[in-house]
Amino acid sequence: MWRRSTRVLCRHVARRGYSRVCPPPAKSAGPLIRVSNHVARLGPPKEGPKPRQLLSLPPFPGHPLPGKRSHEDGVVSRVTAVSWVKYYFDGIYDSTIQSHFKQGLVQMECRGLIEKEGQMKPMRKIRPSEVMEVGARVYVPVSIVESRVSRRFDCIPSGTLYPNADEIEYMQRRVKYKDSAIIVLNKPPKLPVKGNLPVHNSMDALAAAALSYGNNEGPKLVHRLDRESSGLHLMGRTKESVSLLQWLYTDFNKGKSSCQAWDDACEARYQRYWALVVGSPKEKEGLICAPLSKVLLDNGKTERVILAHQSGLEASQKAITQYRVLGPTINGCSWIELRPLTSRKHQLRVHCAEALGTPIVGDYKYGWFVHRRWKQMPHVDIEPTSGLPYKLRRPAGLDVQKGSVLSKVPLLHLHCRELVLPNIAKFLLILDQKLDNLHPAVSSKPDILRFVASMPSHMKISWNLMSSYLV
């Protein structure tokens, strides 16, 4: 009897259970026999999943988000983590964001912990219902922004002398927002904004034919994007809205008006660009204050923008740009976010190429020599968490020779992704009539409008190539 109880006790002592949260360390297994196509081979065991590349969101501002309303008593409503991620990635499906939260892939920096040199900041998983604090920074996998690439690439159907039916229908599909004062559309790359004699299918010519919508005249240009760049483009529909938008986009010191809501909406205005640059800036975020000046080349035939010299003998213009690095360096490139505080010609391209030393991919005017050296040198990039080298994955059935980062001649990777501006149609009625008691239909409209545009096809391909799991 004593022996039997001793055996039972020994059995219970020898049995050891492990927690599902913290499993025992894996033993170093030897080579395994693998069978494929009826052929046996001796190979190493399978490795676990690789870490994901993280995309950092900007610090949570804390003030009311553009387009979001506060409570009637003036107290700002609390913003949860899932609301902040959905607000930043406006074009992403809610189900995709919810699945990333359920899988525990959304993380946040741990405050109060000391960061060690050469290591990443300590992270913790967050829940969707967690309330955001001012200055908190959220990290999500870059795969959250992956999207399908359409077979029909972003280009105008044809280049005729006068816009045809296909071009008119194509321009109407690019419209994202339209009211009585403005039109916001997603400009495709390689489409000039202002046309001249040799250019027939420009933005202003197509807009006059396709975007009049019953008015006597088509919409007018307010600001310009480069021909090779893409993204949100703003146009005014009436003379009053055009003059108000042009005043809004000037860099002169604007005085305060009698309408406090209009002043607050003007201060909240901004534009954000996403760009893929060659290399990576030394600082992860910062402010570029570098004035620009213009020089003429080839006997005045071409014009080039350069950084102004400190001597101050030549005419220059003030130029300020905020930048922030979105992720790690892969294949010698990195994604950055740009926010221009002034409106100058080729401001972002010159600041990236000359001030940061990292020209935008596809910008051969200001980064030709860097592109030649970048294409010739091998790229071995190290993943920061595991210390293993990156290896780009090539999705099956995806044509990478359509201007992406792996093509021989990539297109310009500069996209105006986000635009926040005052509600011009509402404030035209307020500023012109100067009425205290507005109609309920007018007062219920938001003071600020926010738009987010998806990237063009060649930038989507580059993003998908540099995202998802590392293999």
Selection from 349, 343, 345, 330 nearest residue 415 by Cα: 349
Q: What is the band of 275 on the pLDDT scale with cuts at 50, 70, 90?
A: very high
Q: Which amino acid is at 261?
A: A
Between CA 149 and CA 400 the distance in angstroms is 11
Q: What average pLDDT does this structure show over 156-179?
A: 75
Q: What average pLDDT does this structure show over 458-462?
A: 86
What Cα–Cα distance (Å) separates residue 413 from each residue in 127, 189, 229, 337, 463?
34, 10, 7, 12, 10
**Active-site choice (94, 154, 166, 226):** 226
Of the given ranges (61-70, 83-92, 326-335, 444-453), which has the lowest mean pLDDT? 61-70
Q: What is the band of 350 on the pLDDT scale with cuts at 50, 70, 90?
A: very high
Q: Which amino acid is at 463?
A: W
Question: Residue 271 has what pLDDT?
Answer: 92
Burial environment of residue 305 by CB neighbours within 10 A (0 to 12, 13 to 18, 19 or more)? buried
Between CA 143 and CA 107 the distance in angstroms is 14
């609301």: which residue's tokens? 83
Residues 279, 282, 288, CA angle at the centre, nearest 5°?
Answer: 100
Between CA 80 and CA 106 the distance in angstroms is 13
Of the given ranges (98-107, 303-312, 358-367, 371-380), which has the lowest mean pLDDT? 371-380
Q: Give the rounded percent of residues in the chain with a pLDDT score beyond 70.
A: 69
Q: What is the band of 268 on the pLDDT scale with cuts at 50, 70, 90?
A: confident
Q: What is the pTM of this model?
A: 0.76
Question: Residue 330 has what pLDDT?
Answer: 79
Q: What average pLDDT does this structure show over 3-9?
A: 49
Residue 191 has pLDDT above 90, yes or no: no
Residue 3 has pLDDT above 60, yes or no: no
Question: Residue 10 has what pLDDT?
Answer: 47
Q: Six-digit token pair at 363?
A: 């910008």
Contact 100, 138 (CB under 8 A): no
Would you list the DSSP string of 259-308?
A: -HHHHHHHHT-EEEEEEEEES--SSSEEEEE--EEEEEETTTTEEEEEEP
Q: What average pLDDT does this structure show over 122-126?
A: 86
Q: What is the pLDDT of residues 93-120, one digit of tens each?
A: 888 888 889 888 898 888 765 555 555 5
Question: Residue 469 has what pLDDT?
Answer: 39
298 is known as an active-site residue: no
Q: Give the rounded percent of residues in the chain with a pLDDT score beyond 90.
A: 15
Question: Residue 12 has what pLDDT?
Answer: 46
Q: What long-range pairs does 433-442 form, CB within 8 A, spacing at least 24?
A: 434/258
Question: Residue 234 has what pLDDT?
Answer: 92
Q: Which amino acid is at 129?
A: S
User: Which of residues 254 and 237 earns the better pLDDT score?
Assistant: 237
Average pLDDT of the residues of the chain: 77
Residue 79 has pLDDT above 50, yes or no: yes
Of the given ranges (21-30, 116-125, 349-358, 404-413), which has the lowest mean pLDDT? 21-30
Q: What long-range pairs does 291-297 form, CB within 8 A, spacing at least 24?
A: 291/316, 291/317, 291/318, 291/319, 292/316, 292/317, 292/319, 292/344, 292/345, 292/346, 292/347, 292/350, 293/317, 294/345
User: Which of residues 266 and 150 earns the better pLDDT score?
Assistant: 266
């998806």: which residue's tokens? 454
Question: Residue 457 has what pLDDT?
Answer: 87
Query: What single-letter DSSP state applies at residue 360?
Result: B
Other residues' Cβ atoms within 10 Å of the Cβ of residue 431: 15
| Beta bridge pairs of residue 43 | 32
Between CA 333 and CA 277 the distance in angstroms is 6
Tell how many helices (H) and how many strands (E) occur in the chain. 12, 18
Q: What is the pLDDT of residues 281-327, one digit of tens each?
A: 989 899 999 899 888 877 767 788 888 877 666 778 889 999 999 88
Question: Residue 73 has what pLDDT?
Answer: 46
